[in-house]
Amino acid sequence: MEFSRRDLLKLGLFGSAALMLPAERVARTELAVINRMPESRLPGPFTVPFAVPPVLQPDHVTPTTAYYTIEQRQVSAEILPGLPTTIWGYNGMTPGPTIVNHQGQQAVVRQINNLPDVHPSLRYKVWTSTHLHGSASLPQYDGYASDITEPGQYKDYVYPNIQDARTLWYHDHGVHITATNAQMGLAGVYILHDPIEQALPIPHGDYDVPLVIKDAMFQQNGELIFDDNNQSGMYGDVILVNGKPWPLMQVEPRKYRFRILNASISRSYRLALDTDDPLVVIGTDGGLMPHPQPVGDLRLGMAERYEVVIDFAKYKPGQRVVLRNLQPPNNIDYTNTNVVMAFEVGAAVSDASHNEVPVDLNPNMRTMGLTEADAVRTRHFDFGRADGEWVINSKTWADIVNSDYEYVAANPGFEDVEIWELQNDSGGWFHPVHIHLVDFKILDRNGRPPHPYELGPKDVAYVGEGEIVRVLMRFEHQRGKYMMHCHNLVHEDHDMMTQFEVGFGGDDPMHADRAAPLPAGPLFTEPERPQSGGDAGSGSGSGSAPQQPATAPGGGTTGAGGSGSSASGSTTSGSPGKSTSPRKHRRSRRKPHKPSKAKASSAKPSKATPSKGKATSHKPAKRKPATGAKPKKARKPLVRRSPKRS
Amino acid sequence: MATTTLRAPRDAARAPRASSTSWAPISAATLSLLAGWVHVAYAQSHWRQWWAYGLFFVATGVVQALFAIAIMRRPRPGVAVAGIVANLGIVAMYVLSRTDGPPLGPHAGVTERAGTIDLATTAGEIVLVGVLLTLAGRGGRRTIVNALAVAGLLLWVLRLTGNLP
Decide if A558 contacts A614 (C-beta within 8 A).
yes
For residue A316, which amino acid is it? K
Query: Which tens digit of pLDDT belongs to each residue from A400-445?
Result: 999 999 999 999 999 999 999 999 988 889 999 999 999 999 999 9
pLDDT given at position B101: 86
Give the pLDDT score at A270.
98
A 10 A CB-CB count for B113 gives: 16
- Note the pLDDT of residue A469: 98
Q: How many CB atoms lie within 10 A of CB A23?
A: 17
What is d(CA B28, CA A592) in angstroms, rounded to the nearest whole number?
Answer: 53
Query: For the domain bounded by A205-345, which CATH number is listed?
Result: 2.60.40.420
pLDDT of residue B142: 87
Tell which of B14, B42, B45, B48 to mutate to test the A interface (max A CBs under 10 Å): B48
Residue of chain B with shortest Cα separation from A394: B48
Assess whether pLDDT exceeds 90 at residue B55: yes
Q: Is the peptide bond before B106 cis (omega within 30 degrees of 0)?
A: no
Q: Distance between CA atoms of B150 and A284, rounded to whole angstroms?
A: 61
- A265 and A172 in contact (C-beta within 8 Å)? no
Residue B19: the pLDDT is 52
Closest CA to A583 of A619, A533, A625, A542: A619
Determine the CATH number of domain A372-510+598-617.
Answer: 2.60.40.420
pLDDT over 80 (residue B10): no
**Which A residues 11-30 touch B at CB under 8 Å?**
11-19, 21-23, 25-26
Query: 114-143 in A: which are within 8 Å (CB) of B?
Result: 117-118, 122-125
- pLDDT score recorded for residue A493: 96
B90 interfaces chain A, CB cutoff of 8 Å: no
Bond into A519 cis (ω within 30):
yes
Strand partners, A73: A89, A114
* CB nearest to B111's CB, from A124, A386, A388: A124
Q: β-strand A106-114 against A238-241: which pairing, if any?
A: unpaired
Task: Name, in order, each residue with C-beta under 8 angstroms of A274's C-beta and a sequence gap of 6 or more.
Answer: A321, A322, A323, A324
How far apart CA A608 and CA A631 sit, in angstroms, is 22
Name the band, by pLDDT with cuts 50, 70 and 90, for residue B112: confident
List A634's β-bridge partners, or say none.
none
Burial of residue A142 (CB within 10 Å: 0-12, 13-18, 19+) is buried
Domain ranges of chain B: 22-160
* ipTM, two decimals: 0.82
Q: Give the sheet arrangement for strand A467-474, strand by strand.
A: A389-392, A377-386, A417-424, A467-474, A440-445
Q: What is the pLDDT of residue A184?
A: 98
**pTM for the full model?**
0.80
Q: Chain A closest CA to B140's CA: distance in Å?
A: 13
Measured between CB atoms, does A177 come within 8 Å of chain B?
A: yes
Number of H helices, E strands in chain B: 8, 0
Residues B24-51: pLDDT tens digits? 999 999 999 999 999 999 998 888 888 9
What distance in Å separates the CA atoms of residue A341 and residue A212, rounded to the nearest whole number?
11
Task: Mutate one of B148, B153, B154 to test the A interface: name it (highest A CB count within 10 A).
Answer: B148
- Residues of CATH 2.60.40.420 domain(s) within chain A? 205-345, 372-510+598-617
Rounded CA separation B122/A15 (Å) = 9
Across the 646 residues of chain A, what is the mean pLDDT of every consecutive 10-residue run? Answer: 82 91 84 92 97 97 96 98 97 98 97 96 93 98 97 98 97 97 98 97 97 97 93 96 98 98 98 97 97 98 98 97 97 97 97 96 92 98 91 94 95 98 92 98 97 98 97 97 98 96 96 96 74 36 32 31 32 32 39 35 35 34 35 39 34
Does residue B54 have a pLDDT over 70?
yes
**Which residues does residue A419 pair with via DSSP β-bridges, in sequence order?**
A378, A472
Q: Using a CB–CB cutoff of 8 Å, tell me whether B99 touches chain A.
A: yes
Per-residue pLDDT at A558: 29
Average pLDDT, stretch B83-109?
90
Quote the pLDDT of residue A226.
94
